[in-house]
Amino acid sequence: MLNLVLFGPPGAGKGTQSQKLIEKYGLIHLSTGDLLRGEIAQGTELGLEAKKLMDHGQLVPDEVVIGMISNKLDANKDAGGFIFDGFPRTVTQAEELDSLLESKQSSITGMIALQVDDDELLRRLLLRGKDSGRVDDANPEVIGKRIHEYNNKTAPVAEFYKKQNKFESVNGMGTVDEIFAAICAIIDKWLNK
Ligand code: B4P
């Protein structure tokens, strides 16, 4: 079973690469950002609360995203593996994910981090904000807040996987296909171990 954590700052290309990876490796894509935007679109209570935080570039509380991931793992018991995209984003989320998987006799295979400069992140997100309708992509101040949240709360998650010898990183500054090839080389190495 392949359980991959795709990691990186906002706009690093996690969602973009996930789409290609699920096709190639037949994995289930679990994006907490997409799940939260789904709740917002449906106008649920959870979505309304999450929107207030997301529109300001802040993280949603750990218990909310952990609950969503737990439900999705239960709903996909026969899956051959998962891509966790945008999750875990705090060390608490990483610890809870390990416990959830352990209770299902499973574990994380590894984390792959996409390395992208702050200037390029800003450029990509502002470009997407022109037609995505995402409030959190349209404004440089909110994007700055998202990068700040990443540096403070999310970057330490890399250490969590480094300590378990499960961390790899790739240069996220090339073309989508170049980055995809670099990610696949790491996954294929894991699969052939
Ligand atoms: P997310 O939805 O997870 O996403 P993201 O950070 O915007 O970006 P991603 O890295 O997936 O970028 P993408 O491929 O789309 O988070 C949104 C918010 O949800 C968070 O701020 C937070 O509030 C909340 N949230 C989500 N998960 C949470 C959690 N676990 N805990 C707490 N809160 C949580 O790429 C961005 C753009 O770049 C696209 O337009 C793409 O086309 C372009 N691009 C991609 N690769 C490129 C390349 N190689 N070259 C040029 N452009 C590229």
Bridge partners of residue 171, in order along the sequence: 115
- Measured CA to CA, the distance from residue 6 to residue 114 in angstroms comes to 8
Cut 0.85: pTM above it: yes
Q: Name the residue of 6, 14, 147 to mutate for ligand 1: max ligand atoms within 8 A of Cβ.
A: 14
**pLDDT, position 184:** 98
Whether the Cβ atoms of residue 27 and residue 106 lie closer than 8 Å to each other: no
Calculate Rg over the CA atoms of the chain.
16
Which tens digit of pLDDT belongs to each residue from 152-176? 999 999 999 999 999 999 999 999 9
First-residue to last-residue Cα distance in the chain: 13
Token output for 146 = 């998202």
Does the pLDDT of residue 193 top 90, yes or no?
Answer: no
Q: Would you state the pLDDT for residue 61?
A: 97
Please report the domains of the chain, with CATH numbers, ordered by start residue.
Answer: 2-27+79-191 (3.40.50.300)
What does the pLDDT read at residue 152? 97
Residue bearing the CA closest to ligand 1, atom 15: 15
Q: Is the pLDDT of residue 29 over 90?
A: yes
| CA distances for 121 relative to 4, 114, 157, 161, 169, angstroms | 22, 11, 19, 23, 17
Confidence category of residue 49, pLDDT binned at 50, 70, 90: very high
Distance 85 CA to ligand 1 centre (A): 9
- Closest atom of ligand 1 relative to the 58 alpha carbon: 23
pLDDT at 57 over 90: yes
Give residue 193 CA to ligand 1 midpoint distance, Å: 30
Find the mean pLDDT for residues 120-132. 94
83-117 pLDDT, tens digit per residue, is 999 999 999 999 999 999 999 999 999 999 999 99
Matching residue, tokens 């992509």:
137
Residue 10 Cα to ligand 1 midpoint, Å, equals 5
Q: Is cis: bond before 88, omega within 30 of 0?
A: yes
Phi, psi of 179 (to 5 degrees): -65, -40
Angle (nearest 5°) at CA 115 between 22 and 151: 110
Question: Can you read off the two tokens belonging to residue 45?
Answer: 């209570």
